[in-house]
Structure 1
Amino acid sequence: MNIYVGNLSYRMDDKALEEVFSKFGEVKSAKVIMDRETGRSKGFGFIEMVDSSAGSEAIEALNGNECEGRTLRVNEARPREERPRRQF
């Protein structure tokens, strides 16, 4: 199950994000999205859980809860929309 996590602390990295979700089950991958220009976190990331029921449990438990002073937005990730590439 793929999970979107928004409103993350800018100090949070992949490892810290994985630790938050590992309490609910096995984490396949954890990725905090970084800005290519500055190298800083964009404040959101994605988690891939091995077990869907563990993923659902994590969403229920963490959505709306506070982590490092910020209220998390956690839900099932939607497939990425195809956007036309920008022409320069």
Structure 2
Amino acid sequence: MTTTQNQDTLERLREDYPGWRIWRSRRGTRPAGWVATSLTPQDGRAPTLHADTAEELELQLKNPPMGIGLDIPGQLEWSGGR
């Protein structure tokens, strides 16, 4: 994918998924993975998505996985270390 194609794809994803901050990670000076961070992390979905390609990231954006290790109100109570 060329730099122009990358930028066009990035702009399209940002337009199509306004609830996410979407960018390219870098390896040194070169683009690497595709990353999205939720602007509404309290919705129970994974707060950050990462993929090797824009297509893989878009699949996750269409149906974000549930977050892992999130507190479930009323289900977990602190036991005082016991």
TM-score interval, normalised by the smaller of the two chains: 0.3 to 0.5
TM-score, normalised via structure 1 length: 0.34
Largest Rg, 1 or 2: 2
- Judging by fraction of residues, say which structure has more helix: 2
The structure richer in strand per residue is: 1
TM-score by length of 2: 0.36
